Structure 1
Amino acid sequence: MTDPEKHSLIEDAQGIAYGATMAAFGITILTHLGLVTGQTAGLAVLIAYATGWGFGPVFFAVNLPFYLLGYLRMGLRFTVKTFAAVALLSALSVWMPGQVSFATLNPWLGAVLFGFLSGSALLALFRHGASLGGVGILALILQDRLGWRAGWVQLGFDAVLFALAFLVVPPKTVAISFAGALVVNLVIAVNHRRDRYIAA
């Protein structure tokens, strides 16, 4: 098993930096293609598309109510690490689109790449006792309390969010987006197991 409390400060910093950076790159791909996703990031993307506000500030704001839940259920260490990951992702998602451009990117391939990047980002964060907030916090709580796999819990939330996405983006875009979200959650469901890894 991997115990996050046995990670050094440097190891945790590296894990959080890796997770936030890969997640920001995934969001850069996602928003470049005009796709959507699930979880709290998906809610922030939908709000950003609907209002014209930037993803980074919206994502940061949407996560604020969940920190109390994280503190009450997961402890101060988890909450501080999650806050750091969310803040870093929010900042990187504002900065990164100006540093990366895509001459050609097939939407289906982009959705799958987003899924793999985001899945690996969340795994890194989970294994270092953090998350990207929101639904991730709730999914980890349910996994610890009830034994439900975090990926499957998040997939259920995603289904509701994607139903709402039809109000904002075309059906084909929703279908492509769902493929990416499915990859994210399958990566987590297969690789983040309560009997192998635990979150602080």
Structure 2
Amino acid sequence: MPAPMPVPDPDAVRHTALDDVQGLGTGIVMCSLGLVLLTHLGLMTGQTAGAAVIISYLTGFSFGKVFFVINLPFYWIAVKRMGWRFALKSLGCVTALSVCTDYMPLGFRIEYLNPLLGVFFFGTVTGIGLLAIFRHGGSLGGLGIVALYIQDNFGFRAGYVQLIVDAVLFAVAALLFPFTVVFYSLIGAVILNGLIAFNHRRDRYIAR
């Protein structure tokens, strides 16, 4: 049988409040930028953010407002399973991301963005942003909370959990959107979740 995955010393990855502020803040800005690029292209992503993007496209409500509301039921799971500290950090991250994605486009204009290059930017920038958020004990709510809980308690990587959920979401999206939209969106999701799966591992780091 393979040896169990080692667990790092929690004290070795404990952050100060200042560490958390800069880490979570950087992650939020990067994730917001990635989502602005994605929605500019009219594409979608997976997990709870993907559901929020689809709802915003169909209803006309802004992504930020939909994303904030759709995350509310998941905080109960966060409190019960991962504690108040993680839940409050996640609530703060979701709230900040909701505001940033709504107002960031007011600060710059995108005249042209190739879809393939755009989804590469989205997957890379958002993936690095999520890593920063995860490693400072937060999340962007929703299924990210469930994925981190599964990883930290059962050793099944968060990125793989999210890939499975994304497969179901994209199957549904294929019934609602043109093939090209789903195709490009799927590439972005694979880049994003692959980056998380390779770099956010229980034997290296535990979200605290």
Matched, 1:45 2:53: yes
Greater gyration radius = 2
Matched, 1:54 2:62: yes
Structure 1, unpaired ranges of 5+: none
Query: How far, CA to CA, are the matches of 2:17 and 2:42 in structure 1?
Result: 37
Secondary structure at the counterpart of residue 33 of structure 2:
helix
1:99 corresponds to which of 107, 111, 118 = 107
2:202 corresponds to which of 186, 194, 199 = 194
Q: Where has structure 1 moved over 3 Å in runs of 4 or more?
A: 1-5
Query: How far, CA to CA, are the matches of 1:66 and 1:164 in structure 2?
Result: 22
Structure 1 pair 131–2 and aligned structure 2 pair: CA distance change class (3 A): farther
Secondary structure at the counterpart of residue 18 of structure 1:
helix
Query: How far, CA to CA, are the matches of 2:197 and 2:108 in structure 1?
Result: 30
User: Residue 167 of structure 1: CA displacement?
Assistant: 3.2
Question: Equivalent residues in 2 for 1:118-197 (5 A)?
Answer: 118-197=126-205
Query: How far, CA to CA, are the matches of 2:58 and 2:112 in structure 1?
Result: 25
Query: How far, CA to CA, are the matches of 2:191 and 2:103 in structure 1?
Result: 25
Structure 1 pair 2–97 and aligned structure 2 pair: CA distance change class (3 A): farther
User: Residue 147 of structure 1: CA displacement?
Assistant: 0.8
Matched, 1:111 2:113: no
Structure 1 pair 117–180 and aligned structure 2 pair: CA distance change class (3 A): same
Q: Which range is displaced more, 98-107 or 172-181?
A: 98-107
User: Residue 16 of structure 1: CA displacement?
Assistant: 1.1
CA contact (8 A) 1:50 1:168 kept: no
Structure 2, unpaired ranges of 5+: 1-7
User: Residue 2 of structure 1: CA displacement?
Assistant: 7.9
Query: How far, CA to CA, are the matches of 2:71 and 2:116 in structure 1?
Result: 28
**Superimposed CA distance per residue, residues 37-63 of structure 1 (whole angstroms, 9 cap, x where no aligned partner):** 001100000000011110000000000
- What amino acid does structure 2 have at the position aligned with 1:172? T
CA RMSD of the aligned region, Å?
A: 1.3
Structure 1 pair 84–161 and aligned structure 2 pair: CA distance change class (3 A): same
User: Residue 3 of structure 1: CA displacement?
Assistant: 4.4
Matched, 1:12 2:37: no
User: Residue 164 of structure 1: CA displacement?
Assistant: 1.5
Structure 1 pair 2–35 and aligned structure 2 pair: CA distance change class (3 A): farther
TM-score, normalization by structure 1: 0.97
TM-score, normalization by structure 2: 0.93
Query: How far, CA to CA, are the matches of 1:8 and 1:37 in structure 2?
Result: 32
Aligned length: 200
**Superimposed CA distance per residue, residues 78-128 of structure 1 (whole angstroms, 9 cap, x where no aligned partner):** 001010100000000110111122122100110011000110011001100
Structure 1 pair 147–100 and aligned structure 2 pair: CA distance change class (3 A): same
1:29 corresponds to which of 19, 24, 37 = 37
